């Protein structure tokens, strides 16, 4: 309360359409996703049809499957990004990048969303990639030269086990991110991790509270990917009370906690990294 006005952002992203530049294809087949989430996204032809419609979205979240190096081939789809960018703002969800790809992504992006992984074993066992925190930090730095970059951190990505999350956050303290978005691992049917459990709620809350202290003036947001049901309600309640700045698709528990804390709710209809 000493560093922010008494306001919390609630995002309801109905006006953001989600596109996969690779359709349902991904070379990695990650243990937590297995391409499941790609299948619900618009393929490029469908996205172009929506872009031409009278009720086209206010923004686009453009993502896709990765290649074997952990890269989403956004830079190779410049014509698609040009076409979509003429109709609405673009949130580009990238993987690892090199300097050339970072420059091309930055040319199109309103905001870049970059997933961060802080543990080499997690990257290997979850995604099949032999990469570590230094590789994600290099991508973050390259992208930051060209665009506004919001790091995303999935808590419990390693099948519900917290591994490397604090390392990511400690490294980001040196980078001065504009905002950080937290996600929470959700066991997903049809994936290698479908029978795992979400991370222990107490551990998640402890990490969020620790993060609030480590980043006293950096906006922290709870993103849309988090477990459903009672877990989600308890998480939302405690996250608001420990000082989170924004929640995507909040539960009634988040609304009640905001009222209890005397917070003014600012509602948005797009992806949580688009604030206005």
Domains within the chain, CATH numbers bracketed: 7-268 (3.20.20.70)
Q: Closest Cα to residue 168, out of 149, 148, 147, 152?
A: 152
Answer yes or no: is pLDDT of 128 > 80: yes
Q: In what order do the strands lie in the sheet with 59-63?
A: 16-20, 59-63, 89-94, 111-116, 149-155, 180-184, 220-222, 246-248, 7-11, 264-268
Kindly compute the dihedral angle of the four CA atoms of residues 41, 98, 153, 148, in this order, to the nearest 10 degrees.
-80
The average pLDDT across 82-98 equals: 96
Residue-wise pLDDT for 25-59, tens only, equals 998 889 889 878 888 899 999 999 999 999 999 99
Helices (H), 53-119: 78-85, 99-108
- State the average pLDDT over residues 236-246: 98
Q: Give the pLDDT band (50/70/90) at residue 275.
A: confident
Mean pLDDT of 127-144: 96
Q: From the centroid of its chain, how far is CA 162?
A: 17
Whether the model pTM is above 0.85: yes
């Amino acid at each position: 309360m000493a560093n922010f006005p008494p306001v919390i952002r609630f995002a309801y992203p109905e006006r953001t359409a989600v596109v996969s530049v690779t359709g349902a294809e991904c070379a990695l087949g990650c243990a937590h996703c297995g391409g499941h989430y790609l299948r619900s996204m618009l393929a490029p032809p469908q996205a172009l049809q929506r872009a031409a419609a009278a009720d086209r979205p206010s923004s686009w979240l453009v993502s896709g499957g990765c290649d074997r190096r952990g890269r989403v081939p956004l830079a190779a789809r410049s014509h698609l990004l040009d076409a979509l960018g003429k109709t609405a703002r673009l949130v580009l969800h990238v993987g690892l990048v090199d300097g050339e790809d970072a420059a091309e992504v930055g040319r199109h992006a309103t905001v870049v969303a970059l997933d961060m992984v802080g543990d080499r074993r997690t990257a290997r066992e979850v995604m099949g990639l032999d990469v570590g925190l230094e590789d994600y930090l290099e991508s973050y730095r390259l992208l930051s030269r060209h665009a506004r970059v919001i790091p995303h951190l999935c808590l419990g990505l390693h099948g519900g086990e917290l591994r490397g999350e604090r390392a990511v956050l400690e490294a980001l303290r040196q980078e001065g991110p504009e905002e950080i978005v937290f996600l929470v691992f959700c066991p997903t049917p049809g994936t290698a991790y479908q029978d795992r459990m979400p991370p222990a709620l107490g551990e998640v809350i402890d990490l969020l509270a620790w993060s609030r202290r480590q980043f006293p003036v950096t906006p922290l947001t709870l993103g849309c990917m988090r477990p459903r049901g009672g877990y989600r309600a308890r998480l939302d309640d405690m996250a608001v009370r420990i000082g989170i700045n924004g929640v995507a698709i909040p539960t009634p528990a988040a609304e009640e906690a905001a009222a209890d804390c005397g917070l003014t709710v600012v509602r948005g209809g797009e992806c949580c990294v688009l604030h206005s």
